[in-house]
Structure 1
């Protein structure tokens, strides 16, 4: 168990440093947001570009991984939506945002650092594939449904237009496009540019974790125990089980692929979840769910790593 904690403890210690920096007034909210902007607009796109250009595109583009992680995430989203809208009779917008929290992982800020320590270089490839699923499938689907729930008069066309506008400006998708184009062309980047990309990509993990910790400072869950518990259990338990269930039915899935997908699915929800929730009047539940799931993830990720060490279908030894 100590070797498992050797992987997870540094991750959450950096999160703790970010929290203490805010609690001790070492860094204010505005500079912290600046670090988050740096990660989102520069470090993460560089990490995706590096993942796509360091290996042949045929090795990066893994249809089995995309199928398994995509189907597992979509199944989790649908279950969350049915539970909120169909059984609990909540509005469509509320159900879509809650389902988003259950099915979209914080792949860049938490999933990648954990997977990188457990698996090494393959984690960057899995990150690029996850970004495709989250940014092209799960997040747009949730936003379209949430917009439909609020814009009954404008309908699907307006919801699609607004979602497309956000996708065009998404820095991670821009990184995916650039990296994919470079990889498809077969061109080698100049050495100075490669070094710049490496430096930015290397900063993504620790900087992102520090931002997560600072963002947790001041969050207080208030009177939403059932919804918070539902979203947290959906994200940390249902989502990994759904992804794992699909993977185990694919004969082409090797142990590294299974381990990577499972570790990314075990991450808490995306860090911008409170921002998306705020747009639809759910900022309190979104921020509280982010806090609870991030803290709980220390236990669930450590447990998952312990399990994969003791099951032969996984790659961590």
Structure 2
């Protein structure tokens, strides 16, 4: 068990350092925003670009890996919606927002550093396969459901257009797309370009973790406690449990199996709050779920690492 905590605790200590530094005024909110701009628009895209350039396309996109992970996403999405409707008696739009929050795992800022510490940088190829599709899959699912419950087909088309336009300008998606283009071209990167990109990429995860701690200061644990418990429980318990069972049934190899389960065990990402704010529904529940889910995942991720 001590070996497991040796993997997870350093990651959460960096998040905690960012939280305390921002909370105590040693690091201003403006500085946090600047740090997150650097990580999300430059450093992490460089990391994903290099990952896609070096990605083994023939083996990386294993349908069993994607089926195990994303079937779990849909199960979590549906379960959170059902819980909001049947247990908490909340409106359908609130239910969709909470379902999105439960489904949208923090695959990059938490998932990558923990997987790297647990199994090494050479093990991350399945993680990158999941990340390449994650945002598009979750947003398409969430927007489709939101527009269905609003019964506005025009709204659905407009929503998809807006998200497609946003995704086309998203630095993370651009990094993935450019990396895949270089990979498919078969052309090697010039040595100095690869080395410079790698230097920026090395700063991505520690800087992003510190910045994530600063971002979490903005979120206060408020709202419906049962709604928060439902969202966090679906994200931290149901999702990895489903993926564990599905991966076992599908016969996933050990490396992709570990990657899928561990990624599914991550807390809700910041995009959970952004989706709720965009639609003006269950904003406090989703914001609180990001904060409380991240704190609770210290124990739950450690538990899944022990199981794995």
TM bin (shorter chain): over 0.9
Q: Give runs of ≥4 in structure 1 deviating > 6 Å.
A: none
Is residue 83–residue 230 contact of structure 2 (8 Å, CA) maintained in 1? no
In structure 2, distance between residues paired with 1:302 and 1:203: 25
Is residue 45–residue 174 contact of structure 1 (8 Å, CA) maintained in 2? yes
When normalised by structure 2's length, the TM-score is 0.93
> Residue 235 of structure 1 corresponds to which residue in structure 2?
235
Higher relative contact order (CA 8 A, sep 6+): 2
In structure 2, distance between residues paired with 1:17 and 1:58: 40
In structure 2, distance between residues paired with 1:298 and 1:239: 16
> Residue 257 of structure 1 corresponds to which residue in structure 2?
256
Note the C-alpha offset of 1:86. Answer: 5.8
Note the C-alpha offset of 1:124. Answer: 3.2
Note the C-alpha offset of 1:85. Answer: 3.9
Gaps of 5+ in 2: none
- Alignment of 1:269 with 2:268, yes or no, is yes
Is residue 94–residue 146 contact of structure 1 (8 Å, CA) maintained in 2? no
In structure 2, distance between residues paired with 1:191 and 1:307: 41
In structure 2, distance between residues paired with 1:60 and 1:201: 21
**Per-residue CA shift, 1:35-71, capped at 9, x if unaligned?**
1122211222212221122243213322221221121
Note the C-alpha offset of 1:132. Answer: 2.7
> Residue 112 of structure 1 corresponds to which residue in structure 2?
112
- Alignment of 1:11 with 2:11, yes or no, is yes
Is residue 128–residue 176 contact of structure 1 (8 Å, CA) maintained in 2? no
Which stretch shows the higher mean deviation, 42-51 or 107-116? 42-51
Note the C-alpha offset of 1:249. Answer: 1.0
Which stretch shows the higher mean deviation, 226-235 or 162-171? 162-171
**For residues 66 and 122 of structure 1, do their structure 2 counterparts lie closer, same or farther at Cα, with a shift above 3 Å needed?**
farther
**Per-residue CA shift, 1:211-236, capped at 9, x if unaligned?**
12112225322241000000000000
Alignment of 1:17-36 (within 5 A): 17-36=17-36
In structure 1, distance between residues paired with 2:140 and 2:156: 13
> Residue 132 of structure 2 corresponds to which residue in structure 1?
132
Which stretch shows the higher mean deviation, 14-23 or 209-218? 209-218
Note the C-alpha offset of 1:146. Answer: 2.7
Secondary structure of the structure 1 residue equivalent to 2:250: coil
> Residue 39 of structure 2 corresponds to which residue in structure 1?
39
Is residue 76–residue 238 contact of structure 1 (8 Å, CA) maintained in 2? yes
> Residue 280 of structure 1 corresponds to which residue in structure 2?
279
In structure 1, distance between residues paired with 2:165 and 2:149: 19
Is residue 48–residue 124 contact of structure 1 (8 Å, CA) maintained in 2? no
Secondary structure of the structure 1 residue equivalent to 2:68: helix
Gaps of 5+ in 1: 309-317
> Residue 142 of structure 1 corresponds to which residue in structure 2?
142
**Per-residue CA shift, 1:110-129, capped at 9, x if unaligned?**
01100000111244323321
In structure 2, distance between residues paired with 1:123 and 1:130: 13
What is the total number of aligned residue pairs between the two structures?
A: 307
In structure 1, distance between residues paired with 2:269 and 2:223: 22
> Residue 184 of structure 1 corresponds to which residue in structure 2?
184
RMSD: 1.9
In structure 1, distance between residues paired with 2:229 and 2:66: 28
In structure 1, distance between residues paired with 2:27 and 2:225: 31
Secondary structure of the structure 1 residue equivalent to 2:26: coil
> Residue 73 of structure 2 corresponds to which residue in structure 1?
73
Is residue 107–residue 264 contact of structure 1 (8 Å, CA) maintained in 2? yes
When normalised by structure 1's length, the TM-score is 0.90
> Residue 82 of structure 2 corresponds to which residue in structure 1?
82
**For residues 219 and 156 of structure 1, do their structure 2 counterparts lie closer, same or farther at Cα, with a shift above 3 Å needed?**
closer
**Per-residue CA shift, 1:252-307, capped at 9, x if unaligned?**
x1111111111111110112322222222233222111111000000101111122
